[in-house]
Amino acid sequence: MIEVSGIRVPLSKLDGTDSREKVVIRQALARRLHVRQEELGRVTRRKRSIDARKKGDIQLIFTLRAELPGGASAEKALLARLASKREGGGVRVVEAADRDFPLPLAHAPHDQGSIIVVGAGCAGLFCALSLARAGLEPLLVERGDDAARRSRVVRHHDETGELDPESNIQFGVGGAGTFSDGKLQTGTKSPFHRLVLKTFADAGAQQRILWDAKPHIGSDVLPGVVTRIIGMIEEAGGTVRCRCRLVDLDVSGGRVHAVTLRSEDPETGIVTEERMPCSKVVLACGHSARDVFELLVQRGVPMERKTFAMGVRIEHLQADIDRALYGPSAGNPVLGAAPYSLAVHLPSGRSAFSFCMCPGGYVVSAANEPGGVVTNGMSYSDRAGENANSGLLANVFPEDLPGDDVLEGVKLQRACERAAFEAGGGGFVAPAQLVGDFLHGRPSAEGGGVEPTYPRGVSWGDVSRCLPSYITETLRAAIPEMGRKLRGFDRPDAVLTGVETRSSSPVRVTRGDNLQSVGVRGLWPVGEGAGYAGGIMSAAADGLRVAEAVVADAAEELGA
C-alpha cells in the first residue's frame, strides 16, 4: 500500500459533501503520482487538516493511502519512477495493518481470582475491553449510571439544581469525557491511537474521526458510543456493574488481596456491600474521585502532588472566532466552526492557556459535590451553537501549595468551588464577569453581546474572588496577549464563568516501569485520575497500555 502525504486541495474545489471530497482527492492523488485514476485501487483518507494561514487561499492538506492493483511490484516500480523525477518526497510503502487488541491467552486464569477495573471512563473502558478480549473476564465497576440514565440525571440537574453526587457529568459510564464534546485530538504519541479511533468508529462515532486532524464525536453522540463499547466488553466475556463503587482496598504484605464494593439499586435505593477477593485491580477512577484518593492515602498507597490547572470558562460568539481564523471563508461548510488553541508565557514565569475548546458549544455544570460550582464545556456533533467556549487556565504548581499533605491540591480545588457556589448565590448558579471588567478589576453588573450558556444561570460579579491571586493575575496578564494572537479574544463583552478546577488531577498515584503501583503489587493506576493522561485519547491509550501489561503479567503467572 502506498501512503502519500502533503496533498493540498484548495477549499474552492470542495462543497462540504463527502462524495465530492472523494472525487477531488482521487484526482489530486493521481496527479501527484503521475498515474491515471484507473491505475489506482481503493483510496482512503489517513489524515485531513486545514491550512488557514492565508485566509484568502485556505487549503486542505491530506495524507492518503492507495492500493495498487499490481501489488508490491507495482509499488516498487512507482517509487522508482517518482525517484527518477525527484518527486518521491512524501510517498512511501506502508503496511496495511494497524495495532490491535492483544490475542487471547491460551486459557483464562480462573484460579487467580478476579481482575477488577474501577471506573468506566475512557481509560477503564478501553482497559476492560482489551482484558476481556484477552480472555481475562474482568469485572468493570462504575459508581455512576449507565449512559442513558446518566443523561437523564444530568438534564434533571440542569433544570432543577438537584445534584446526584454519584451520577453526574463527572461520574457515570464514559466518564467526564462523555459530556465534554468528545475531542479526540492529543499532543501525546501512542501506537494505540489508531486503535482507539477505530473502536470509537466501530461503536457508532462518525467515520471522519479516522482522518480528521482534530476529530471529535460530540456529546449528543457519545452516550450511544460508550453504551456500545459496554456491549463489546460484555460480549467478550467481561462483566459491567453500574452504581457500584470502590469503598475499601485490602492491602497487606505489599500487594492487593481484595476490594470492598458498595452497590446501590437506583430504583429501590437498596445498598449492599461485598468484599471481593482479587489479584489485580486497575484503578481508573478519574480525576474527581476524591474519596478514592483519600482511601489510597489511608491504605498507604504511594502518591505525589503534581501540577494541575485552574481558571474559568471564556465565551465568545462563534461567528467572531470564525472570522478571526478563516476570514472571508468563515461559514464555509467544509471548514465548520473554527477551533483555537492559545498559550502565553509571561515574564512572571507563569503561563496561561486555553483548554478543551468547544466550537459552537456550551458551558456546562460539572459539579459532583454539594455546595461547589464546577464548570466545563461541551459541543454537540454539529457544533452549531452560537457561542465558542474554552477553559482559560493557569497552572498550580506543587510549590504553590502549603504543607506536605499530598491532597492539598484537592483542598484548593474544593475551596475555589465552594467560593464560586457562594458567589453565585446557591442552586449551582455560577459567578460570571465580562472580560473588560475583569481586566480592570471591577465587578460586572450585567452582560453584554455574548449571552452566557451555563445552564443553571449566572450571577454577575467578580470571578477573581473565587481563585488564588496568582491565577487571576496570570489570566489578567495573558488575555491581552491572547487577543494579539487571536483577534477579538480580549473583546470587553466576552464572558468569564467560574470556576474551572477539574482540567486534570492534582495528584499522581505513583507507578513503576511495570505500570504497577510502586508500593502495592497488583494495583495498576491508569488514566487521568491516576495522573497519567490528559484527555480522551491519552486516557484510552493509557488504558490499553496498562491492559497489555496486565495480560503479560497474567501470562507470566500462568507460565504461558
Kindly state the average pLDDT of the residues 228-252.
96
What is the rounded distance in angstroms from the CA atom of residue 270 to the CA atom of residue 220? 31
Which residues neighbour 547 within 8 Å (Cβ) at sequence distance 6 or greater? 102, 126, 127, 128, 130, 131, 134, 282
Mind giving me the DSSP string for 265-311? -TTT--EEEEEEEEEEEEE---TT-HHHHHHHHHTT--EEE--EEEE
pTM for the predicted model, two decimal places: 0.95
460 and 446 share a domain? yes
**8 A C-beta contact, residue 7 and residue 64:** yes
| Structural domain count of the chain | 3
Kindly state the average pLDDT of the residues 152-157.
97
pLDDT digits (tens, 9 = 90+) for 293-306: 999 999 999 999 99
- The verdict on residue 103 lying in a domain is no
pLDDT digits (tens, 9 = 90+) for 29-57: 999 999 999 999 999 999 999 999 999 99
Going by C-alpha positions, the residue among 548, 349, 315 that lies closest to residue 452 is 315
How many other C-beta atoms lie within 10 A of the C-beta of residue 304?
A: 11
Q: Reply yes or no on whether the pLDDT at 107 is more than 70.
A: no
User: Which pLDDT band, with edges at 50, 70 and 90, does 182 fall under?
Assistant: confident
333 and 446 share a domain? yes
346 and 476 share a domain? yes
Going by C-alpha positions, the residue among 65, 51, 64, 53 that lies closest to residue 11 is 51
463 and 553 share a domain? no
Q: Reply yes or no on whether the pLDDT at 181 is more than 90.
A: no
Instruction: Answer whether the bond into residue 256 is a cis peptide, omega within 30°.
Output: no
pLDDT digits (tens, 9 = 90+) for 390-445: 999 999 999 999 999 999 999 999 999 999 999 999 999 999 999 999 999 999 99
**8 A C-beta contact, residue 122 and residue 543:** yes
- The verdict on residue 102 lying in a domain is no
- The verdict on residue 99 lying in a domain is no
What are the residues facing 115 on neighbouring strands? 280
Mind giving me the DSSP string for 407-421? THHHHHHHHHHHHHH
pLDDT digits (tens, 9 = 90+) for 1-26: 899 999 999 999 999 999 999 999 99
pLDDT digits (tens, 9 = 90+) for 496-542: 999 999 999 999 999 999 999 998 999 999 999 999 998 999 999 99
Q: What share of the chain is helix, strand, coil (3-state, %, to 5)?
A: 35, 25, 40
What is the rounded distance in angstroms from the CA atom of residue 262 to the CA atom of residue 259? 10
What are the residues facing 263 on neighbouring strands? 244, 272
Q: Reply yes or no on whether the pLDDT at 110 is more than 80.
A: no
**8 A C-beta contact, residue 45 and residue 55:** no
What is the rounded distance in angstroms from the CA atom of residue 286 to the CA atom of residue 403? 25
Mean pLDDT, the chain, rounded, equals 94
What is the rounded distance in angstroms from the CA atom of residue 352 to the CA atom of residue 344? 5
Please give the pLDDT value at position 431: 98
298 and 412 share a domain? no
Going by C-alpha positions, the residue among 387, 360, 392 that lies closest to residue 375 is 392
460 and 479 share a domain? yes
Going by C-alpha positions, the residue among 492, 483, 479, 500 that lies closest to residue 437 is 492
Q: What strands, in cross-sheet order, belong to the sheet with 343-345? A: 343-345, 351-358, 387-396, 308-317, 495-500, 430-434, 458-460
What CATH number does residue 244 fall under? 3.50.50.60
- The verdict on residue 206 lying in a domain is yes
115 and 251 share a domain? yes
What residue ranges in 57-213 does DSSP mark as E strands?
A: 59-66, 91-93, 114-118, 139-142
What is the rounded distance in angstroms from the CA atom of residue 119 to the CA atom of residue 284? 5
Domain stops at, among 500, 519, 540: 500
- The verdict on residue 164 lying in a domain is yes
Range of the domain at 387: 308-500
What is the rounded distance in angstroms from the CA atom of residue 26 to the CA atom of residue 21? 8
Contacts of the segment 353-356: beta carbons below 8 A, 24+ positions apart:
353/309, 353/393, 353/394, 354/314, 354/390, 354/391, 354/392, 354/393, 354/482, 355/309, 355/390, 355/391, 355/392, 355/393, 355/500, 355/503, 356/180, 356/181, 356/183, 356/390, 356/391, 356/503
318 and 230 share a domain? no
Give residue 368's identity as a one-letter amino acid code.
N
Please give the pLDDT value at position 95: 81
388 and 530 share a domain? no
Tally the residues of the chain.
560
User: How do strand 303-305 and strand 458-460 relate by DSSP bridges?
Assistant: unpaired
Please give the pLDDT value at position 266: 79
- The verdict on residue 521 lying in a domain is yes
Q: Reply yes or no on whether the pLDDT at 108 is more than 80.
A: no
Q: Reply yes or no on whether the pLDDT at 492 is more than 90.
A: yes
User: Which pLDDT band, with edges at 50, 70 and 90, does 111 fall under?
Assistant: very low
Q: Between 222-235 and 147-160, two packed helices, what is the crossing angle to 10 degrees? A: 150
Question: Which grid cell sits at 275?
Answer: 468484599
Kindly state the average pLDDT of the residues 200-227.
95
- The verdict on residue 362 lying in a domain is yes
Tell me which residue has cell 499532543: 187
144 and 33 share a domain? no
What is the rounded distance in angstroms from the CA atom of residue 227 to the CA atom of residue 229? 5
397 and 490 share a domain? yes
pLDDT digits (tens, 9 = 90+) for 327-372: 999 999 999 999 999 999 999 999 999 999 999 999 999 999 999 9
Q: Between 193-202 and 222-235, two packed helices, what is the crossing angle to 10 degrees? A: 100
User: How do strand 244-252 and strand 239-242 relate by DSSP bridges?
Assistant: unpaired
How many other C-beta atoms lie within 10 A of the C-beta of residue 532?
A: 23
What is the rounded distance in angstroms from the CA atom of residue 130 to the CA atom of residue 138? 10
- The verdict on residue 531 lying in a domain is yes
Kindly state the average pLDDT of the residues 171-181.
91
What kind and span of H or E run contains 470?
helix 469-485
Domain stops at, among 500, 515, 543: 500
165 and 255 share a domain? yes
Tell me which residue has cell 470502590: 246
Kindly state the average pLDDT of the residues 147-153.
96
Domain stops at, among 93, 119, 147: 93
